[in-house]
Amino acid sequence: MKQITAISGKGGTGKTTFVSSLSVLMNNKVIADCDVDASNLHLITGSKILKKEKFVSGKKYSINREECIQCRRCITYCRYNAIDNSYTIDPFSCEHCGICEKICPVEAVVTQPREAGELYVSDTKYGKLIHAELYPGEENSGKLVTRVREEAMIYAKNENKNFILIDGPPGIGCPVIASITGVDIVIVITEPSMSGLHDLKRVLELTDYFRITPTVVINKYDINLENSKLIEEFCEKRNVEIIAKIPYTAKIVDSIVNGIPPILEIGEVIQQEFIRAFERVKNILKN
């Protein structure tokens, strides 16, 4: 089984656009949306939720007023100023370090499992989609990404699928690391801007560290040909293959607004760029 992850250094470069189109071309796969902070692949693939479960991460702290003796030790020791003078713990300021529970002399601090998000298994026209939602203000998105990938792996094995196609999050932080660890190939979606080039460089440092084969797609390459040329020169210098250069067209925007994978709405010339990228990925995975 081969795993493919599309990532980018910055948001808005077109990862979901690309992955949704790749999901149309690719057979015998499970799709995973690992951008759990802003999951939106389900909006384009016409998904229907089959199953959902709560994602529990860490503990939630509160103070039992009946047991509390108002000694102020918890207020004094809390480094995040999460406990006010009425002995109420602000859930958004609390970093869940547990010091209040440890130093309370009467064990008045109560803990509960903390629901941080939800995991979904959905059916689409293009195969099973595993996706998730992290609740606002919650942390541990890397753990939720791992949970999404674990569920995708279970379905891929049970249904004898050959591929797991992963829509990764932007950036280079913990969620990105969780989405690329152990995959066979990474597709970096970039755009012809200086910030796009800068973040492409950072992402390639990450793939180098994890020894994963990177490829590059330049999306909207024709909106700034000078910057596209800089990206091409950088990739040539780094010996990183550019597998597609997708031109800008308003049809892609319209297709996303209509909830349709762009490859089904664009002209044949641009379709060929997606197809060329898909064929190149298949050949790289074979070798």
Residue 287 confidence (pLDDT) = 77
pLDDT greater than 90 at residue 233: yes
pLDDT greater than 90 at residue 137: no
Mean pLDDT of the chain: 94
Specify the DSSP element, H or E, that contains 178. Answer: helix 174-180
Residues 6 or more apart from 168 whose CB is under 8 A from it? 5, 6, 7, 8, 15, 34, 35, 175, 176, 179, 180
pLDDT greater than 90 at residue 186: yes
Q: Which CATH number fits domain 2-55+117-286: 3.40.50.300, 1.10.20.60, 3.40.50.1100, 3.40.50.10310?
A: 3.40.50.300
Largest CA distance in the chain: 73
Residue 268 pLDDT grade (very low, low, confident, very high; cuts 50, 70, 90)? confident
Pairing relationship of beta strands 48-63 and 29-33 according to DSSP bridges: unpaired
Coil, strand or helix at 258: coil
CA dihedral (202, 270, 22, 177) in degrees, to 10, reads 10
pTM above 0.85, yes or no: yes
Position of tokens 């109560």?
110
Looking from the CA of 36 toward its CB, the CA atoms found within 13 Å total 32
Q: Which amino acid is at 103?
A: I
Residue 92 pLDDT grade (very low, low, confident, very high; cuts 50, 70, 90)? confident
Domain boundaries defined on the chain: 2-55+117-286, 65-107
CATH code of the domain occupying 65-107: 3.30.70.20
The two domains 2-55+117-286 and 65-107 share their CATH topology (first three levels equal):
no
Residue 231 confidence (pLDDT) = 98
